[in-house]
Structure 1
């Protein structure tokens, strides 16, 4: 199957990005790292009704990466446009029990729907049950849910992420070692990226040995693993696939210090501004542009739909995809908006691979100069993709 993928400027989301100046990540009155307490639900509901706003809760696993910082910024911006009063974002800090409790607190505080970035695909069971009992629905961002029913999953295909990384690396590396800095394999994102990458590399690059290092999304672990691989394999290390962007901050300086820039390929995921800068400079080879802007905008739109009792079904037009689809994990199926995430390289290229697991056999990348890439839009609004404030 042939699939040509480019960054698509969706009419609503693109207009939002172009028309509105980005504002601070979140105000102190709307942000907290833990539950904001109890006893405020009636006051929140009354205030929302008086102002014509809808109260939406937000609970995230992380805010400590460039991607999630940008997501929160976009979410705050779009909430103001959509007349949404945000409760949160609360931060679970990778603690599934805390996240379940926080979601219960958001329900009790008057949230009409809740946006959540789950700790794992199967960790939200208690929260889903509690919210459902109180007629509140959840919208999952960036992670498939396999432990109950949510209103919508807002997420791009992470199997495509692994395929794209493989397509790039296998087109240029034919021997030696490739380091895969895996995310959390208990999460659908880490598992999907890893499985697709491994299957594709086995089919397309059988003479390359894959070094599989699980990092549980911990930057320090990823950088240490890269250091160990460089020390152990030297010039036989031909490429590194970092399954998210944060390791770049340590891996790229490491390679530069060993005079390996340009000799060891580096592919990562997220599409944050500093990746756009590094691709332009040639220190990073490619990145998947996971659309933080579309994730934020459409999660809020679906939360409004959920709060207002709108019924959606597979086949309806998607926000980031041509059509909504059912997505399945661990036996549970939920409605999803499988967004298109561009694969970014210095210049646009086409790669052909032996297809695996129903994935496409052709990958077409987007040039880093494309002004519509969210990392470029966000970077330009914050001093430029290579500015100090976008360097972490």
Structure 2
């Protein structure tokens, strides 16, 4: 049964009748459809179900919090205790020393917050010309005002009456430091506020950074006095085997955006970790200290913060970050043989539980998705016609092997149908 009222995000609504799948429940690394089919959830929802589905511990904690207080806002000195506790915990995990935590409702909110903070920082520093936010080709940073403006996926930029909703933006190659430096110099460092980068590009196709790229980018930003924003909405909270990918790749950004895995999707929540360089003026104990005129109704939502606390505890107590590192080679080994399939252009894996199976860019991937679903595996397409693989951390080695077998069978079946 379809709805005549629901408008699906990022969806060609004319095709919804043939593709609608209603998810009714989930347990561990699998979900069950409304018509009773069990599916291995290879995308973990939208990259978020890190601890897996059906965690009654999180649901019970949220219920208890809501019975006392659903939430209370953080504006003008108001607070709720879960938001205070969570901020302290996040600051302790942060790859940014002495970080402050600005809580949001999700990833797109976090990106907008970080970009506004970057520009506000330079205004306060007496360098108002530094306004341009530079991003990378293939990058995805949500779809709010700044996210739409800085995306490196052209289809998400088109159709709004101009090249960019916010004009002071620019893009650079995703993997070329020399070209990035040349563009920053062309723009003029005195005009550039920040470079924003996903440590591993997600929606653009799970593009792993070349060796030394991220440390080189951080050094370039320092040398040219440009802020570095790490977008860890996907990679944060264990996806690459550490709390944050910045630790794995050895970089210390000025701002770090987070969401998704912070609650494993049990409630919407996000945030920005902010370095001393940026937060210090706002915390100065002087009458003329500036105010950051930015906020969200549900920043630090009490029940969402409780969900995050329980989620972080599960990650710690069950050793799920270590499990990601253990499964990292298992996932790569299972998927690598697909590279030899005639329908496959590339397989990218080997950094945490993140992978993509890239199909021929001109191929119709819909038969592959259907055949995989019929075989009990749920995946979806990324921007470069890749199959999305980022399973919950509780997936087993046996489930990974089964998923790879199903994907191969789906590719074979789709190729056979195409040739018929």
Tell whether the structures are fold-level matches, with TM greater than 0.5. no
TM-score normalised to the size of structure 1? 0.35
TM-score normalised to the size of structure 2? 0.33
